[in-house]
Amino acid sequence: MAKLRRFLDPQTGQLQAQVESGPAVYDRIPVPPALYAEPRYIGSHSFVGRTAHLARLSDWTAPAEAHPVLLFEAIGGTGKSMLTWEWTTRHAPGARDDWAGLFW
């Protein structure tokens, strides 16, 4: 994080233009609590089902939850990324209204 600080504009806190062998590229980090996703999930098909898992994620966000980290573990290809992307982008905003921020 300390190394990244040199790319921040001291006035605005936004990333400054970076030159990558061509024209300047502006990489804006959204203002929290807006989702910051880098990289964004690119699924190969639409999300279907998994309502029990989506409900578990929403339950985990309850203010009284004693465990601030939830781990989904399974072998590759079972849909962990697709599930968590679906929840983060479509369910998290309605789960609570006091997010400090969301990142992917």
Domain ranges of the chain: 30-103
Residue 81: per-residue pLDDT? 85
- Widest distance between CA atoms in the chain: 50
CA 14 to chain centre: 18
The string of pLDDT tens digits covering residues 13-64 is 666 655 444 444 445 778 878 888 877 788 777 877 889 889 988 888 887 7
- Mean predicted lDDT score pLDDT of the chain: 76
Whether the full predicted model's pTM is greater than 0.75, yes or no, is no
